[in-house]
Amino acid sequence: MKKIRYLSFGIGRKMLIRIILMTTLICTVTTLSGYLQYNYTIRKMYNDKGYAVGNIILDHLDGDQVARYARTWTADEKHAEITEYLKSVEKSSGAAFIYIGVPREDHTIRYLFDSSGTVSIGEVDRIEADFEETWTAFTEGKRPESHLVRNSKKYGYLTSSVLPVTDSQGHIAALLIVDIWMKDILTVLQSYILWMVVIALGIMAVFATIYWLYMKRHFVVPLIQIRENVTEFAAGETKEAIPLDHIRTNDEIQELAESVHGMEKDIVKYIDNIRTITAEKERIGAELNVATQIQADMLPRIFPPFPDRHEFDIYATMDPAKEVGGDFYDFFLLDQDHIGLVMADVSGKGMPAALFMVIAKTLIKNRAHMGGGPAEVLEYVNGQLCEGNDAELFVTVWFAILDLKTGKGLAVNAGHEHPTVRRAGGKYELVVYRHAPALAVMEGMKFKEHEFELHPGDSLFVYTDGVPEATNLQNELFGEERMMEALNRNPDADPETILRTVRQELDAFVAEAPQFDDITMLGFRFLYDR
């Protein structure tokens, strides 16, 4: 009995410590999450205030004048008026600093205007806020994603709101930066944390005391032997189950002891299998993740892909149904005047289709760079794919080569979906003609080329069967008719917008139904004016 009392006191004390630790952790997490959210809200509020002030200033600011000062760096009477206006806005809004300047790549800014009156036009100072976001705002006109909060010895605790100043031509001439004091936030946050800690400690003390007394009286003493058994079992690294026959309470505690013993035996039996299965699953998952990344990296993903080429606009997407897919698209310049366009779909799904896709894509691109028309390229690729194709996979391909000077092109459709064409000012229409067989179906196949011509403003849209065959919960197909309606929702849009519109219409139609097939699309607009 003395042993049990001693152990009872020990287990109760440990339980109390755990309760205190758990409640402390909960209170800490609650306080910390509240602090972070509150801190974020305050920062956002101050930052938004800066943007509100900045937008008011931009409404009254002549961007062309700012651009002129950025070219001449010479002050005049109008410069003094703008500076006085910034001073008045700073005073009335409570802002810390308001200034306009031109950032430079050496992380400095050259001032055009400064509300404090202490900096002259042309003076240079280091950019205290995050340079990358400030530089992006100047070069791309994008509002910084963060609140640009800093606490410097020179200027104090501030948040910066950065807005581009554009001239009448839409060119960014400079940046308008509004700094807002944030020193009050420290006092508010300290008070908030103090009250949260006091309240949390009070709740923790009451809860821990009541819960410890209840658990000690009703559960601690009868459960101690079971606890020791489980501890000993765990210390033995689950090599064998430890009997609990000495517990004879003839109630639920005894049933619990018997259940624990049975559980230990099951754990010993299955732990090795579980470890093996888990390790294998993790290995397969890691390999699939690598395969997914490799496949994604093989497809062109940077748009625009050829920034210096203005004869065309192109955009493409591929969304696999599984971790890896069998669809692929490709586009590549064969020389300065010709571009190759590829849309393909490998039979099957998963890893086999993905591997076949890698081979087919590589063969098409490499053979196309060696010269010849689409038919000659696909005849060669077909022969290569037929060799050793024990899995009997095949791939449907639409492959075209377009002359970027004349707009004339040749295309081969090897068992693929019908392409769609839109003439300038018109609507997208399906181009229906007889297909050739898919690649890897039969050796020695010949492929017929189809001539086509694009004029400035004409567009192409090619896709895989994952688009028209997408199915909703009622087993209805999206179909070519809905696809064409989506394309013609805004036929004058650029390729990226066209693809996004089709995908939105498709997602709305499919709703909660799972994706069974890869969805791949490519849009191309011919812009060359002969």
Band (pLDDT 50/70/90 cuts) for residue 248 is: low
Quick one: how far is CA 364 from the chain centroid?
Answer: 30
Which of 78-87, 245-254, 325-334, 392-401 is predicted with the least confidence, judged by mean pLDDT? Answer: 245-254
Domain endpoint, select from 298, 322, 346:
298
Give the span between the Cα atoms of 355 and 462, in whole angstroms: 23
Of 480, 493, 498, nearest in space to 431 by CA = 480
Clarify whether residues 270 and 324 are in a common domain.
Answer: no
Three-state DSSP class for 496? Answer: helix
Number of residues that make up the chain = 530
Q: Torsions phi, psi of 162, nearest 5? A: -115, 125
Reply yes or no on whether the pLDDT at 411 is more than 60. yes
Q: List, in order, residues 6 or more apart from 398 with CB less than 8 Å away.
A: 341, 342, 343, 344, 411, 412, 413, 414, 416, 417, 419, 462
Clarify whether residues 149 and 244 are in a common domain.
Answer: no
**Domain contains 411:** yes
Clarify whether residues 354 and 492 are in a common domain.
Answer: yes
Q: How far is CA 15 from CA 28, 220, 387, in A?
A: 19, 9, 70
Reply yes or no on whether the pLDDT at 3 is more than 50. no
Let me know: does 485 contact 275? Beta carbons within 8 Å: no
* Angle in degrees, CA 188, 194, 199, rounded to 5: 125
Q: Torsions phi, psi of 278, nearest 5? A: -65, -45
Q: What is the pLDDT of residues 137-160, one digit of tens each?
A: 899 988 888 888 877 777 778 888
Give the span between the Cα atoms of 377 and 357, in whole angstroms: 16
**Domain contains 219:** no
Angle between helices 63-72 and 77-93 (to 10 degrees): 120
Write the DSSP symbol of residue 418. P
**Domain contains 232:** no
Q: List, in order, residues 6 or more apart from 403 with CB less than 8 Å away.
A: 337, 338, 409
Clarify whether residues 277 and 308 are in a common domain.
Answer: no
Which of 222-236, 311-325, 463-477 is predicted with the least confidence, judged by mean pLDDT? Answer: 222-236
Give the span between the Cα atoms of 283 and 99, in whole angstroms: 56
**Domain contains 331:** yes
Clarify whether residues 405 and 475 are in a common domain.
Answer: yes
Instruction: Give the max Cα distance, the chain.
Output: 103
Give the span between the Cα atoms of 502 and 480, in whole angstroms: 11
**Domain contains 36:** no
Domain that holds residue 513: 301-526
Reply yes or no on whether the pLDDT at 360 is more than 90. yes
Clarify whether residues 289 and 332 are in a common domain.
Answer: no
Clarify whether residues 122 and 173 are in a common domain.
Answer: yes
Q: What is the pLDDT of residue 36?
A: 73
**Domain contains 499:** yes
Mean pLDDT calculated for residue range 18-46: 77
Clarify whether residues 432 and 319 are in a common domain.
Answer: yes
Q: What is the pLDDT of residue 247?
A: 64
pTM, to two decimals: 0.51
* Angle in degrees, CA 372, 376, 380, rounded to 5: 120
Which of 34-43, 109-118, 181-190 is predicted with the least confidence, judged by mean pLDDT? Answer: 181-190
Reply yes or no on whether the pLDDT at 214 is more than 70. no
User: What's 120's domain CATH number?
Assistant: 3.30.450.20
Quick one: how far is CA 259 from the chain centroid?
Answer: 47
Clarify whether residues 268 and 319 are in a common domain.
Answer: no
ω into residue 419 within 30 of 0, thus cis?
A: no
Burial class (CB in 10 A: 0-12, 13-18, 19+), 182: buried
Domain endpoint, select from 153, 181, 209:
181
Clarify whether residues 176 and 254 are in a common domain.
Answer: no
**Domain contains 194:** no
Give the span between the Cα atoms of 403 and 309, in whole angstroms: 13
Reply yes or no on whether the pLDDT at 161 is more than 60. yes
Question: In this structure, which amino acid lies at residue 241?
Answer: A
Dihedral (Cα; 163, 165, 170, 172), 10-degree rounding: -90
Domain endpoint, select from 298, 314, 346:
298
Split into its structural domains, the chain has a count of 3
Give the span between the Cα atoms of 245 and 258, in whole angstroms: 8
Q: What is the pLDDT of residue 376?
A: 96
Clarify whether residues 287 and 338 are in a common domain.
Answer: no
Q: What is the pLDDT of residue 288?
A: 60
**Domain contains 137:** yes
Clarify whether residues 307 and 294 are in a common domain.
Answer: no
Q: Which residue has better confidence, 342 or 19?
A: 342
Buried b (16+ CB within 10 A) or exposed e, 477-503: ebebebbbebbbeebebebbebbbbbb
User: What's 484's domain CATH number?
Assistant: 3.60.40.10
